[in-house]
Structure 1
Amino acid sequence: MYLKLRKHVSTRHVIQSLVAMIVVYIGITFVIFINQIANNSTSILNRPAGVEAFLPISALVGLKAWITTGSFDPVHPAGLVILLLALTLSLLLKRTFCSWICPIGTLSEGLANLGKRVFGRNFTIPNWLDYLLRSVKYLILFFFVLAIFFGMSGLDAAAFVQSPYNMVADIKMLKFMQHLTSVGTIVIGMIVVFSILYENFWCRYLCPYGGLLGLLSVLSPYKITRNRESCIQCGKCTKRCPNHILVDQASRVSSPECTGCLNCVQQCPSNDTLTFKSRLGLPALAVSILVISLLFIVSAKITGHWETNVTVEMYKQILPLVDQIGH
């Protein structure tokens, strides 16, 4: 049983690593793509559509436009597809997108492991402060939902999707990272430091999309389930949970903080006491995640909802004007 669990958790790490490598490839390819356009190169790489995963606000506006007007975002369609994938996974398989796919989640986990190596442990935040800080991501989420789904009409959302600003959002994101201001450097530096000291700091306290996926995941039929009869109350599951869920006190973990990472299941010394299952039956989790993800991406490519309609010629025209284009 232990070897089986180790293999399952190792599979998660393999998927995390593969996604991380894909993200690095996408980043490098996008930088080359923009540089080739800026230099009027005769040979230009294809723009990697996956870069749109880092345009979450654009994707949320695109979702609003799609729901209200029926028009699927033609400018950053891959961003909307990835958002829909994350929402679907959360509804079906808890917040597994966060712990199995999201590169920021992987980075956060790596920083926490670094903290454990340097300090021998991660530090804990007092319960009262932990509850207070956890509300921050929901407040940020509330702001975005209020501004986009209630503050914008469907026509406004559709207009934003087609706006010059949205067309260059990916380039603006790249320029922001390439030319970080002192404020940006300090903020990112603080998040990195806190992520080293406190496990899952960004995901637990600041990520609004983690909050959204968490709320949806409450509806997921799959939950970490504890067999009270075979549980020996060792507390190892709760101690290993990166989100400080009291697993050893629950029959089924319904908390929106659960990301389905299976760390608690891995640590349980009692066979079949902790399982990740639904009353409908237990799927092969890794296979389910991969199949659903590939289904979304392949379907998007087949139906023409993956690649942007912004052509290379259009990029050549708007690239020199990026700094002048505002909201």
Structure 2
Amino acid sequence: AFKGTAVEGLDDEGRRAPDAPFVELYFAHLNVPSAGRNLLPAATWDYLQKRLDPGDHALLVLAKGRYGIVSDDFQRGTVPDRLTLNQNKLPLEMRDLDLDTQLNLPDELRDAQWRVFRVISPAGLDPSLPLDFELLVSRSKGQFMPEVVNKPFAFRAELPDQYFEAASSDSKTWRLSWTSRWWELLLLLAGLGLLAWALAKPQWLTHSQTRLDRFRTGYLLFTLLFIGWYAQGQLSIVNFTAVIQALFAQRSLAFFLYDPMTVLLWLFVAVTFFVWGRGTFCGWLCPFGALLELIGKLAQRLGLQQLRVSTALDRQLKRLKYGVLGVILLCACVSVSWTDRLVEVEPFKTSITLNFVREWPFVLWAVATLLLGAFVYKGYCRYLCPLGAGMGLLGRLRRWDWIARRSECGQPCQRCRSDCAYQAIEKSGKVDYDECFQCLDCVVIYDSAELCVPLLNNARKAAGQTVIPIVPVGDSA
């Protein structure tokens, strides 16, 4: 295979035993009960059924010989660094399930290297069609800046006909993912329509703080319980990295169509970038953000004192998330395995997708971000979230400043600024839309004759009463 390349003849072991097998590959589809139950111990089989979501596939690949399906520095739980999977010329992502068990293997395969990989339902794997694997073999020449030559070796695996029931041709396309979830999509569209109406005509919603609080709490529960935990509609920085990696590999983006919830949410959010900015998603449609906000509200009800970061420190901390975003996107251009590690800065997968059923380091990180939110209002969203940073950048497509301001706002009135939990209003009274989560609290104040100090003073002047002196607050607010 390497004949005529710079690394020809460098395989000493191959020269000594030219007839010895380099690698023999074996495959088993563990979703087939007769395969899974025979190869896995009973406890592992039961565990696998709990790990797999409906439509997911567990694929066992074994390698016998002197070359493994993953390298020595492979990180468990990530995408394999040597093995890829395609079906109908469409790449399917496999991810190691990190199973730690003893397989029931014949004697000749006892020493084989093996991994169990998961292909999630949205990938659209069809068990009735052939699976085309490619094993990447690398050789290098030289010590300093070595010349590396890669050669892919293909093998095809097919499930025998008796182990599946062929579906109609329409069921083998992304359309099935949409039609099978029709009522979820209709409910999502209804929820998005309600939100669009409420934000486009906020006068009814912001008539009183109580009305806004009730509506907002109810909608956040809808976002968390239905969009997040039930329908698995948590948008993620992984959506960005998947696009980048697909473009670099010159692959189609059609795989997104197998996840209709994500497609509809992104279409809606894309429109809101031009109307309201990043706040519509981050403030209303992010399940993890909803969880954080509800925890923050609960902490306040329990009497926990939340910290308000100084203006100068808050400004510096808000820059962190853009650095995190930049590192992840840069890594997505050069390394799949490192990208898989870095995106774990998002606790979304642990808390929303997997419901905290995961290895303890991931759970610990997710819990830490939630605890931070109990003491610093939505601290993760404001300071660390790479998806929020991306939303903030895309939110600059906004065509107008939709939050009304008065001449007295910031000059000298600081009422809205002091009440803004996100610290998204500058001392001048200008709203920083890149950091605004569209909570509408300042809109309630602006429209209220009882809360807005300029309106109160105008009413007092009209009644011949003493006006309220407006004293600017310090920068520490």
TM range (shorter): 0.5 to 0.7
Letter in 2 for 1:12: R
The structural deviation recorded for 1:58 is: 4.0
Match of 2:6 in 1: none
Measured at CA, do residues 141 and 84 of structure 1 come closer, stay the same or move farther in structure 2, by a change above 3 Å? farther
| Greater RCO structure (CA 8 Å; 6+ sep) | 1
Residues 288 and 352, structure 2, Cα contact 8 Å, conserved in 1: no
* Aligned-residue identity in percent: 21
Confirm or deny: 8 A CA contact 1:237 1:264 kept in the other structure: yes
Question: What is the number of residues matched between the two proteins?
Answer: 232
In 2, Cα distance between equivalents of 1:234 and 1:10: 28
Instruction: Summarize the Cα distance change of 1:66–1:114 in structure 2 as closer, same or farther, 3 Å threshold.
Output: same
Q: State how far apart, in whole Å, the 2-side matches of 1:259 and 1:189 are.
A: 22
Q: Distance in 1 between matches of 2:426 and 2:315?
A: 17
Q: Distance in 2 between matches of 1:230 and 1:57?
A: 36
Q: Which of 271, 293, 306 is 1:88 aligned to?
A: 271
Distance in structure 2 (CA, Å) of the matches to 1:114 and 1:207:
22
Match of 1:59, as an amino acid? N
Q: Secondary structure at the match of 1:256?
A: coil
Which residue in the other structure is 1:211 paired with? Answer: 389
AA partner of residue 396 (structure 2): V
Contact (CA 8 Å) 2:237, 2:386: kept in 1 or not? no
Moved over 6 A (4+): 170-175
Pick aligned residue for 1:12 from 211, 216, 219: 216
User: Among residues 22, 29, 49, which one is paired with 2:226 in the alignment?
Assistant: 22
C-alpha distance 80-231 of structure 1, shift in aligned 2 (>3 A):
same
1:23–1:255 Cα change, 3 Å: closer
Q: Which structure features the higher share of strand residues? A: 2
Contact 2:396 2:434 (8 Å CA) reproduced:
yes
User: Residues 205 and 199 (structure 1 numbering): CA distance in 2 closer, same or farther, change over 3 Å?
Assistant: same
Q: 1:173 to 1:271 in 2, by over 3 A?
A: closer
Aligned to 1:293: none
Task: Give the corresponding residue for 1:137.
Answer: 321
1:16–1:216 CA distance, 2 compared to 1 (3 A) = same
- Give the TM-score normalised by structure 2: 0.42
Please point out which of 236, 257, 261 is paired with 2:435. 257
Which entry has the higher C-alpha Rg, 1 or 2? 2
Contact 2:350 2:366 in 1 (8 A): no
RMSD: 3.7
Quote the Cα distance in structure 1 between the aligned partners of 2:357 and 2:410.
53
**Quick one: structure 1 residues 87 and 210, their matched pair in 2 at CA, closer, same or farther if it must change by over 3 Å?**
farther
* Distance (Å, rounded) in 1 between the aligned partners of 2:283 and 2:316: 23
Once the two structures are superposed, the pairs formed by residues 167-206 of structure 1 within 5 Å of their partners are 177-206=355-384
Write the deviation string for residues 129-188 of structure 1: whole angstroms up to 9, x where unpaired: 33332222111211222233x448xxx9xxx9xxxxxxxxx9999896454333223222
Q: For 2:299 and 2:352, how far apart are their aligned partners in 1?
A: 29
Gaps of 5+ in 1: 28-49, 161-169, 274-327
Contact 1:54–1:79 (Cα < 8 Å) also in 2: yes
Kept in 1, the 8 Å contact 2:350–2:363? The answer is: no
Cα deviation, residue 201, structure 1: 0.7
2: CA distance, partners of 1:243 / 1:83:
24
User: Displacement, 1:106?
Assistant: 1.5
